[in-house]
Amino acid sequence: MTAISPFTPLLEADIDAATRMFIGGEWVTAQGGETFDVHDPADGRVIAHVPAAQPADVDAAVAAARAALAPAGPWRTMTPQVRGRLLWKLADLVERDVERLSAIDSVDSGKPMDEMRYFDIPFSVDVLRYYAGWTTKITGDTIPISYPAGHGGTFHAYTLKEPVGVVAAIVPWNLPLLMAIKKLAPALATGCTIVVKPAEQTPLSIAALTQLTIEAGFPPGVINYVTGLGEVAGAALSRHRGVDKVTFTGSVPTGKDIVRAAADNLKRVSLELGGKSPNIVFDDADLDAVVAGAAAAAFATQGESCIAGSRLYVQRGVFDEVVRRLGEHAASIRLGRGTAEGTQMGPLISAEHRDRVLDYIKIGIDEGAELVTGGKAPTGQGYDGGYFVEPTVLINAAPEARIMHEEIFGPVVSAVAFDTEEEVLALANNTRFGLGAAVWTKDISRAHRMAAAIESGQVWVNCYQAADSALPFGGTKESGWGRETCRETLEEYLETKTVVVAL
């Protein structure tokens, strides 16, 4: 047993499962025997030593995925209906193990258990069932053709939809299980095979998910699980000539590195990257809903969310009241270990990231922002050794301040007053990102004007981060390429083949 921190025996068994990788239907260690440490963000202790995959391990995983795509193999010849049943069975197993998976992801990422129970796991189940339903509905077209006319021939033309091939899914550490499933489900629904690489900070729940795919009955090689450092295993997957598509969620710099690596064989790439989402409040809005929504937008998942509402623009007439109430709400949030009942916000992912977030708070204040609440790492019993940062509200940052443009990825929200619709639109769109935005108003005409004018992949009106498997999720500008959790995502995992038959 390699688990070190004191968890329940069941959870220790799940932690121990992450000390091996899954390649070609077998649990294996890294070929060179290298490992890296995984830490408990609530106290900083090492909880597991996990295989550090080298390029040879990546080669083995890609080879297994390619073998599973053999023309006469069980995956390629499996009917769409059976693929759908396997996905539905996996959804049932994830739903069955909600407490177990919630605990694993909570230990690994620091997220509160309730976020896992009531959002991440139910949404993961819904994503699996959504794509399970699509397997039998992926069809080509019969196309009447006009050319060549007058040559005495009659032609029958049609298209086929075929899997793009081997998919490399590189998963972030903030929502590890959900992000893995958002990539796994469309890949499997379309008949692709996959190599999943979790973030090195959070491999535990993906190991547990892999166990469930075995229980569900997926053939060997269809799903492969490889752990390792991004600059080694992730880079090897991105440039591998046996990989046909990379799907990545994470930072903009890493996304750009993946694009450069993928250029070698022009593999497909989809990217869900960063955000600096504007959350816009007009003075006619329901302020009870605004405060609750702004707090959730800024502090859910410890603010470690690409879609976090980190820029809060409030019309001047209600600015002071919103800031006061949001500050009080932030100060009341209960911090603690994610697995502890009653915890509302857990630790950040690492000591390095905690220090980065604290540095951003200092930068913001040094550049003229005022601190309303929070701003530091809590100390004392329950916090020692952990990577905690208090929920933080800043106000009055200058439009060009770094905290208004750079992704902090922590529990920090910067509130700024505005006067007119035109003014706030200019502020909202003054960013290199375009992932999410929200507008709070009772004026339906204004809501539609704003939704049309904001440069963003999604805009919420009088809510924040409402999600559904049928809704496209993704961004514009440097927030990424492509969409997830929707019908059009399927096309990113499919090739179209044209067939013309002379009759």
**CATH for 320:** 3.40.309.10
**Nearest to residue 277, comparing CAs of 116, 177, 412, 395?**
412
Closest to 99 (Cα-Cα) out of 205, 173, 18? 205
Residue 48 domain flag: yes
262 and 286 belong to one structural domain: no
Q: Are residues 53 and 168 in the same domain?
A: yes
Same domain, 338 and 438: yes
Instruction: Check whether residue 196 and residue 315 sit in a common domain.
Output: no
For residues 391 and 373, the answer to whether their CB atoms sit within 8 Å is yes
Domain for residue 79, yes or no? yes
Quick one: 59 and 105 in the same domain?
yes
Any domain includes 392:
yes
490 and 423 assigned to the same domain: no
Q: From the candidates 272, 390, 455, 478, give the one annotated as an active-site residue.
A: 272
Looking up residue 74, the CATH number of its domain turns out to be 3.40.605.10
Apex 481 CA angle, 478 and 485, nearest 5: 120
Catalytic residue among 200, 306, 407, 421: 306
Assigned domain for 1 exists: no
The answer on 174 and 49 residing in a single domain is yes
Domain that holds residue 288: 278-468
**Are both 147 and 83 inside the same structural domain?**
yes
Instruction: Give the chain's radius of gyration (CA, Å).
Output: 24
Residue 4 lies in a domain: no
Number of folded domains that form the chain? 2
Burial of 444 (0-12, 13-18, 19+ CB in 10 A): exposed
Q: Give the Cα separation of 88 and 129 in Å (integer).
A: 5
Whether 164 and 306 map to the same domain: the answer is no
| Together in a domain, 118 and 179 | yes
Look up 341 and say whether it is catalytic: no
Claim to verify: residue 268 and residue 411 sit in the same structural domain:
no
Question: What sections of 18-72 are H helices per DSSP?
Answer: 55-67
- Concerning whether 272 is annotated as a catalytic residue, the answer is yes
2 domain residue, yes or no? no
- Using CA atoms, how far apart are residues 389 and 382, in angstroms rounded to an integer? 13
Tell me whether residue 474 is in a domain.
Answer: no
Beta bridge pairs of residue 440? 281
Distances (CA, A) of 114 to 12, 118, 172, 350, 439: 21, 6, 20, 21, 27
Spell out, as residue ranges, where the chain has pLDDT lower than 70.
1-10, 148-153
458 and 400 co-located in one domain: yes
Structure tokens at 88: 């539905």
- Does 473 reside within a domain? no
